[in-house]
Amino acid sequence: MGKTILFVKVTTDGYPGHNQAKKIYFFLLKNLTLKRNNKAQTIINIKLTIYERSKQGNANW
């Protein structure tokens, strides 16, 4: 059974405390089969790693 996942990336003007969203990117990954060693799983792991780093404030987009 396939899964569909939406990733959203927002870039800002870079000023802490009063950031303005400059660009919003949407990534839609469709019909993913979540098996180990699957290419789609690798993409998800990379995206989630970037998301986790962004929550910590040190992601490099």
Domain count, the chain: 1
Residue 37: give the domain boundaries: 3-55
pLDDT at 61: 47
Question: Between these two residues, 40 and 61, which has the higher pLDDT value?
Answer: 40
Q: Is residue 60 part of a domain?
A: no
Q: Where do we find the tokens 């993913």?
A: 32
Q: Is residue 33 part of a domain?
A: yes
Among candidate residues 7, 4, 2, 8, the one with its CA nearest the CA of residue 30: 4
- Which helix (H) or strand (E) is 59 found in, with range? none
pLDDT at 59: 45
Q: Is residue 61 part of a domain?
A: no
Distance CA 29, CA 42 (A): 12
pLDDT tens-digit series, residues 9-37: 777 776 666 667 777 777 777 766 555 55
pLDDT at 43: 62
pLDDT at 42: 59
Among candidate residues 27, 30, 25, 37, the one with its CA nearest the CA of residue 3: 30
